[in-house]
Amino acid sequence: EYLDFTAGIAVVALGHNHPDITAAVVDQASKLVHCSNLYHNEWAPQLARNIVESTIAAYPQGTQGIYAQAADGRSPARVFFSNSGTEANEGALKFARKYGKHVAELGTLGKGTSEALRGDPNLKCGIVSFTGGFHGRSMGALSVTANPKYQKPFTPLIPGVQTAKYNSTSEIGAFVDERTCGVIVEPIQGEGGIHPAQVDFLRALRRRCDQVGALLIYDEIQCGLGRSGKLWAHQLYPEDCSPDILTMAKPLANGIPIGAILVSDKVAELIKVGEHGTTFGGNPLACRVGCTVLDHIAKPEFLEHVQNAGQVLEQELQQALAPFVGSTVVELRGTGLLRGIQFASDPAQIVDLARDRGLMLVGAGGNTVRLVPPLNTSIADIKRGAAIIADCVKQFAAERKA
């Protein structure tokens, strides 16, 4: 028996063998698994509606980006489905490219710039990403993932991508300019080592994107859908940090492949039928399960449990690891049930020691062990996992001294 603090790398938010997930899969598989987007199915529009409505309900103070309201008070935000996180990010980058052409053709960015861009709208094609980010392994997503380990075997990558320093507000003006069409960032970096964005950093990105007519894209594939204790990690931040595009995937169908792109009205209205497509995206099986997952995660009491469990995990680890901070342990980071323990040296042995004791862990960048248990993990199991981690760190530290 194992206690899983990986959740399939932040995927099985409701744990393994959840009865509601099993029932949804079995029932839908006995009816209709796939019909393509040539035909309507009941579950894709239902899930899209649920994503929009639950997002708006969870953040009533939102007024910008995906939260902008139509004259009748309803949200005009729209959802495009895919099959994975990297595909969701690919779609977001495509949408940013088309939006950039649109802004260039409008000629609203100042006389000199507008004349140049109207002469060649393709010039407004730049994409900015950040150090430590991870956005996927397909070519576009890989190009905005600034990690040589992933990029080097597949160079040259797509042109027009620049990498700025994460959480460096002073660099934004130099990198995000009138030729930028999109900026992609994780509000809390996962693969990079569990690094939350600073409020001033996201606020400055939002302001600069507005100034130069670029789209702000939040990749919440790992940090979203309840993982932070909020429905979306960016909902931990002020409303003037809101995105134009939000990508999601991992936990949306608890292990059934799915991804989605939530876009504001100003983006959706530019994307015409047939300009972006998918064979499997929006299939009834994945969307039916997605509805079941979201019904659980979006409930305030569910998110309250994530917050409480995260606080317990933090408290247990802070107390148990205090003797090792400053030597073996560098820092504890994170929020909700997205946590990281950074070590002074490679912690691969910690992962092995934990597995031998019945606890599954996964690493992340910067000598960090990532803690991403299912969101419905009991408080008792949270404490049990923290105790195992503490025991592993104690042995790890002792062996380093020997």
Between strands 215-219 and 180-185, the pairing is parallel
Evaluate if residue 166 carries a pLDDT over 70. Answer: yes
Stretch among 6-20, 117-131, 166-180, 352-366 having the lowest mean pLDDT: 117-131
pLDDT band, residue 347 (cuts 50/70/90)? very high
Evaluate if residue 343 carries a pLDDT over 90. Answer: yes
Instruction: Report yes or no on whether pTM surpasses 0.85.
Output: yes
Evaluate if residue 111 carries a pLDDT over 70. Answer: no
- What is the DSSP-derived secondary structure letter of residue 239? G
Mean pLDDT in residue range 379-393: 98
pLDDT digits 0-9 by tens, 267-312: 999 999 889 999 999 999 999 999 999 999 999 999 999 999 999 9
Position with higher pLDDT, 74 vs 180 = 180
Evaluate if residue 372 carries a pLDDT over 90. Answer: yes
What phi and psi values does residue 40 have, to the nearest 5 degrees?
-75, 140
Determine contact, residues 362/254, Cβ cutoff 8 Å: no
Evaluate if residue 401 carries a pLDDT over 90. Answer: no
Stretch among 65-79, 251-265, 320-334, 346-360 having the lowest mean pLDDT: 65-79
pLDDT of residue 112: 65
pLDDT band, residue 327 (cuts 50/70/90)? very high
pLDDT of residue 384: 98
Percent of the chain clearing pLDDT 90 (strictly above): 93
State how far the Cα of 223 lies from the Cα of 86, in Å rounded to an integer.
Answer: 15
Classify 26 as helix, strand or coil: helix
pLDDT band, residue 94 (cuts 50/70/90)? very high
State the average pLDDT for the chain.
Answer: 96
377 burial (CB, 10 Å; 0-12 / 13-18 / 19+) is buried
pLDDT digits 0-9 by tens, 202-224: 999 999 999 999 999 999 999 99
Query: Which residues are within 8 A (CB) of 196 and not within 5 positions of it... i.e. 6 or more apart?
Result: 187, 188, 189, 333, 334, 335
Classify 248 as helix, strand or coil: strand
Quote the crossing angle between the two packed helices 300-321 and 284-297, to the nearest 10°. Answer: 70
C-alpha dist (Å) from residue 365 to 170, 186, 195, 233, 357: 24, 14, 10, 20, 23
pLDDT of residue 72: 80
Any idea which residue has 């309840």 for tokens? 226
Mean pLDDT in residue range 380-400: 97
pLDDT of residue 237: 98
For the chain, the residue count is 402
Nearest to 252 by CA among 1, 47, 37, 91: 47
C-alpha dist (Å) from residue 204 to 104, 162, 187: 22, 17, 13
C-alpha dist (Å) from residue 233 to 56, 236, 248, 331, 372: 14, 6, 11, 21, 14
Helices (H), 36-84: 43-58
